[in-house]
Structure 1
Amino acid sequence: MTETFAIEPPAFDPATGIARFGYRVNELRFTETLAFPPGGDAEAARSPAFLKLLSLAALVLGVSYYKLRAPTRIEVAFPLTARERAFALDVYENGLGEFYARNSLKRFGLIEIEAAEASGERPAPP
């Protein structure tokens, strides 16, 4: 069985201000929480921009859990644009270079990120 690191969709409750980020390494499960001020604007919390922010945060916050086993397969349970996929690969491959070197792990060019393709790719700003 190939080891897998899974990043689950984030969840946010504007009434409590708690954002939850779920991760799984094979059968081990972890939840990271972030506390925002409670009683936030529920409409803003449902906006595409805030949901995108939570999704990108989920990618980055997962690094510490990923390092538990550092598998080459990463499954993301929410869609990613091509840019977001490249960002995730940069975080998990290049961003952990020292970790890989210190632990004699070969991961460069081996990490696979699986996620549905997100629509709405926008051109880069000038």
Structure 2
Amino acid sequence: MKHKAKIFHFVGYEFDVNARKIFFKYRIEFYNQHSLNFTETIIFPNHPKKLKEESIQKILESLLIVLGISYYKLYCPPRVTMPFRLSREQADFWNTVYRKGLGEFLYRNKLDPKRLAKFSYSNIKIYPDRIKTQDRALLGIGGGKDSIVAAELLKDFDIVSFLVETQKQDLISDSVIDKIGRPSLKIRRVLDLKIFEKHDGAYNGHIPISAIFAFLGLLTAAIYEYKYVIVANEHSSNFGNLQYKGEIINHQWSKSVEFESLFQEYTRKFITPDIVYFSLLRQFYEIRIARM
């Protein structure tokens, strides 16, 4: 009998400051089998200075939602539960991130976008927090030439290379960091190993990984007092590949200017106005970057 998922629970998170680890917990509840529980771990390289968890609570709540997409997509349950409340505008943002960020996943698995759970909202007001920062930037590092070009354009500014290593060391990105020659901050993202097991009836496919990196960059900036999170997403990421069920499917949606604008607005309105995320290469096509 195929497993039928009932509810996806965003259970919560735990921040162990001394161990430099944050644990994000999820549970899939089924009609016809025992629940599946998952824990994802984020590990930081250095102890944060004088950090109060309440100062980054809104970022941690956002990370709970965005990291959860890796586990939600296994069965796409029709309902989700949260340990905190969202405003209507926040719920709209997350409904968009899940629908458009999972666009290619839905297309390849022949799933209707309407089957995705909707984030519920309450009639509440959410206000941003002030976070202490310094006039310096994190530069997100990928494995290609875009990061090198961005670093060269920023050679006169105070930047640190920022890398998220998922599950194992990223040797290609390490070589880019070495070539750039700036200090680096490496965050480790450890997925729950159960996600790699075979689950009867589970789906597989693309997730909006750059959205995950954006929120991890925001958290890292808040913890280590950086004012800017800079990425090197270029112009061609703005365009979709095909249309499916009334949606434009864009493999790179979480690198697009649409996501960037939504993320900037969400951060400013609901998290903090003190950290700014943007792409330095947005106006350039890939061929132009190759010539720079």
TM category (shorter chain) comes to 0.7 to 0.9
Partners of 2:17 and 2:122 lie apart in 1 by 27
Unaligned ranges ≥5, structure 1 = none
Distance 1:44 1:67, change over 3 A: same
Partners of 1:117 and 1:16 lie apart in 2 by 37
Unaligned ranges ≥5, structure 2 = 30-34, 129-267, 274-292
Identity of aligned residues (%): 33
Distance 1:13 1:116, change over 3 A: farther
Partners of 1:99 and 1:116 lie apart in 2 by 29
Deviates more, 1:56-65 or 1:79-88: 79-88
Alignment equivalent of 2:74, drawn from 47, 68, 72: 68
Please list the CA deviations of residues 57-91 of structure 1 after superposition, one character each: whole Å capped at 9, or x if unmatched: 11110111011101121212222222321221112
Tell me, yes or no, if structure 1 residue 13 matches structure 2 residue 16: yes
SS at match of 2:15: strand
Partners of 2:11 and 2:61 lie apart in 1 by 9
Tell me, yes or no, if structure 1 residue 23 matches structure 2 residue 26: yes
Tell me, yes or no, if structure 1 residue 46 matches structure 2 residue 49: no
Contact 1:14–1:42 (CA under 8 A) maintained in structure 2: no
User: How many pairs were matched up?
Assistant: 123
2:45 matched residue in structure 1: 37
Partners of 1:30 and 1:65 lie apart in 2 by 8
Alignment equivalent of 1:87, drawn from 93, 96, 110: 93
Distance 1:110 1:66, change over 3 A: closer
How does 1:92-103 map onto structure 2 within 5 Å? 92-103=98-109
2:126 matched residue in structure 1: 120
Please list the CA deviations of residues 35-62 of structure 1 after superposition, one character each: whole Å capped at 9, or x if unmatched: 1235324543331xx1111111111101
SS at match of 1:10: strand
Deviates more, 1:85-94 or 1:16-25: 85-94
Partners of 2:57 and 2:102 lie apart in 1 by 26
Letter of the structure 2 residue corresponding to residue 69 of structure 1: Y
Partners of 1:20 and 1:94 lie apart in 2 by 26
Contact 1:22–1:30 (CA under 8 A) maintained in structure 2: yes
Partners of 2:124 and 2:50 lie apart in 1 by 24
Contact 2:106–2:113 (CA under 8 A) maintained in structure 1: yes
Q: Tell me which structure has the larger Cα radius of gyration.
A: 2
Distance 1:94 1:61, change over 3 A: same
Taking CA–CA contacts closer than 8 Å with sequence separation of 6 or more, which of the two structures ends up with the larger relative contact order?
Answer: 1
TM-score, normalised with respect to structure 2: 0.38
SS at match of 1:98: helix
2:249 matched residue in structure 1: none
TM-score, normalised with respect to structure 1: 0.80
Aligned-pair Cα RMSD in Å: 2.6
Partners of 1:79 and 1:39 lie apart in 2 by 30
Contact 1:72–1:107 (CA under 8 A) maintained in structure 2: no
Deviates more, 1:24-33 or 1:111-120: 111-120
1:106 matched residue in structure 2: 112
